[in-house]
Structure 1
Amino acid sequence: MTGRIDRRRLLSLVGGLPFLPAGAAAAETKVAVIDWGLLETVLAIGAVPAAATELVQFRKIAVEPTVPDGVTDLGLRGSPNFELLRIIEPDLILISGFYEYQRPSLERIAPVLSLPVYEAGKPPYPLAVASTLALGERLGRTTESGTYVDETERLLRRARDTLAPVAHRPFFVISLGDSRHFRAFGADAMAGDVLGRLGLDNAWTEETSYSAAAPVGIEALARVPQACIVVIGPLPPEVRRGLAGNALWNALPAVRERRAIFLDPFNHFGALPSARRFARLLVDGVHGLAHG
């Protein structure tokens, strides 16, 4: 989908935020964020949360937007520090569907807003747009959220034009847990969804679930010999060393013909900031393949 996204229809995807009081002025709302995709989004529209989860890892993997030093780290996404949350006394706690199981405990502390980015069988990009706009309304940042959505669509259009010379090739987008197995990103992952919006075909056509298919032997990458292979970081040093001496990996056409690209990390379960980061990293990574 490369056309302009209808915002009224997208806002309907998040249910109209029914629990919020009419006319709530929330520019100064003290927010705590459990989900990384929503943390990205809060920061992207110019709000600073009081607290969020796993900030050390977020800074390494999601990387952007930058998290200010004053944001309190609540610990693990799967089991945040509820006592610390009570001390912080947020006005609002943001979660996604991944953390609905925490809702009863979180609602004892503050109102909870759940916004979707990933849902079974749905491409995540439109959900991320809808959640960005809904969050902008809730936090009194409708102008900022609308601008961010528009800028993201323009960035993807520019990236699509830049990548046109390599659009004749399909692309595997994968992560490597070891030097012999990979996970492939499909249309229900942000990387896979954005890949299509950039005018590129996904070489992986089998089923995936939210982020990626279950680990598969790297020999499967030879099934589409004309494809490029995009490896998303982080890549542990031992994996990179293992690839260097891996006969199967080095025998892949994409590897032999220098069509394997290693990208810096980005948040696999991210929202629009991750979509933008992936597009930029991909453009930089294929720069030398424009005539390949």
Structure 2
Amino acid sequence: MLSEIDSGGHLFSPHLTRRAFLGGGLVMFLVPGGARAAGGARRIVSLDYGLAQTMIALGTPPIAIPAVPDWKIWVQEPPLPPGVANLGNMLEINMEVLQQLEPDLILTTPYLEASRHLFERVAPVEVLPVHATGTPPWPHILAATRRIGALLGRENEAERLIAQSEKTIAQAGARSGRLRDTPCLFVNFYDLYHVRVYGRNSLYQDVLDRMGIPNVWQGETNAWGFSLIGVEDLDPGGNVQMFYFDPVPPDVLPALGRSPLWRNMSFVRSGQIAHFPTVLMFGTLPSATRIATLLSRFGSENGF
């Protein structure tokens, strides 16, 4: 899975070399305190986009994350504050830069457990499991939010974030119009012949459940919350709204457009197929509220 899913929650992460990273002018971020969190809080590094989302939402961003340029591509909300240092590739953290930042604490997930001993040479490490647990992520997201709030001294802000997120999702469900009566399908195109379809143990399923929107896919899923199935097995028939999201291999959509099998699928014939805007699919509360807001917009306006 390492070549397909990274701890920041995106598929197919780019590979930045250490030389390219250091040569790109990013060493300027290593000024002591240059990315210090607001209010004099501890200097905390997050090696996971989802945990970083939560820190930002609580008003205390991390001093560094991996793959800073990819944040705009795969996360979008909340925006990454300026001055957050770049630790290079998600799967090959630049240890030299990490050491120079002198963090007080490193937040990560079990996904990078194999490298934990390296991180512990730099600073204490807090491992927060959220996704890939083989269970619905929602309880883990709430637990991680509260734990991060405690680490930042922002327990009250963490509780407010949880309450506001739950309220936003419930209100979005009430505004979702026809989607409450239209089962949805969420997929990634793996290649021309296979898709990843999201269901139980995914953030999408947790949000759909709280919005009162049915998910077509009730089959088995892996620990990350998706199944890899053949395109021919995708169509359940009937009234279905299909959403697909990035990344999409460049040759897939044109080829499917020429396929009689694809053109005869129920959601294609009815025109109920749409590209879903970018959301960090393995994110935390900010991702959950973004999913809900986008779905409510689509359900009420039939478009994004």
Shared fold per TM-score greater than 0.5:
yes
Moved more, 104-113 or 75-84: 75-84
SS of the equivalent of 1:183 reads: strand
What pairs with 1:202-213 in structure 2 (closer than 5 Å)? 202-213=215-226
- Cα distance in 2 between the residues matched to 1:175 and 1:66: 24
Give the Cα separation in 2 of the matches to 1:41 and 1:99: 19
1:254–1:288 distance in 2 versus 1, CA, 3 Å: farther
Change (3 A) 1:153 1:214: closer
Which residue is equivalent to 2:80? 67
Match of 1:103 in 2: 116
**C-alpha separation between the residues in 1 aligned to 2:132 and 2:224?**
11
- Residue 93 of structure 1 aligns to a residue whose secondary structure is strand
**Corresponding position of 1:53:** 66
1:132-187 Cα deviation digits (max 9, x unpaired): 11101111112221111111001110111112533223211111133432101112
Asked whether the 8 Å contact 1:27–1:139 carries over to 2, the reply is: no
Check if 1:89 corresponds to 2:102.
Answer: yes
Counterpart among 238, 260, 263 of residue 250 in structure 1: 263
CA distance in 2, matches of 1:224, 1:100: 42
Which contiguous aligned blocks of 4+ residues in structure 1 show a shift greater than 4 angstroms? none
Identify the residue that residue 191 of structure 2 maps to in structure 1. Answer: 178
Q: In 1, are the aligned partners of 2:72 and 2:79 still within 8 Å (CA)? A: yes
SS at match of 2:176: helix
Deviates more, 1:121-130 or 1:162-171: 162-171
Matched residue, 2:287:
274
Runs of 5+ consecutive residues of structure 1 not aligned to the other structure = 1-25
Deviation at 1:236, TM superposition (A): 4.7
Partner amino acid, structure 2, of 1:177: Y
For residues 287 and 246 of structure 1, what CA distance do their matches in structure 2 show? 31
Cα offset, 1:289, TM superposition: 5.0
Cα distance in 1, alignment partners of residues 90 and 133 from structure 2: 20
Q: Which runs of 5+ in 2 are unaligned?
A: 1-38
Q: Which residue number corresponds to residue 229 of structure 1? A: 242
From 163, 166, 169, the equivalent of 1:156 is: 169
Aligned residues: 265
Offset at 1:59? 1.7
Say whether 1:143 aligns with 2:166. no
CA–CA separation in structure 1 for the residues paired with 2:218 and 2:70? 31
CA distance in 2, matches of 1:48, 1:222: 42
The share of aligned pairs that are identical, in percent, is 31
Match of 1:191 in 2: 204
1:224 & 1:127 partners in 2: Cα distance? 34
Q: State the 1:214 CA deviation.
A: 4.2
Residues 176 and 235, structure 1, Cα contact 8 Å, conserved in 2: yes
Alpha-carbon offset, residue 34 of structure 1: 0.5
Of 236-245 and 220-229, the range deviating more from structure 2: 236-245
Amino acid at match of 2:172: A
Shift of 1:227: 2.0
Q: Is the 8 A contact 1:234 1:265 kept in 2?
A: no
Partner of 2:181: 168
Q: Name the CA distance, whole Å, in 1 between partners of 2:148 and 2:211.
A: 26
Q: CA RMSD in A?
A: 2.0
Task: Decide which of 32, 36, 44 is 2:49's aligned counterpart.
Answer: 36
Code of the residue aligned with 1:35 in structure 2: it is D
**Cα distance in 2 for residues equivalent to 1:37 and 1:240:** 29
Moved more, 117-126 or 260-269: 117-126
Q: Spell out, residue by residue over 1:111-144, the C-alpha distance to the aligned partner (whole angstroms, 9 max, x if none).
A: 1111121253321112111111110111111222
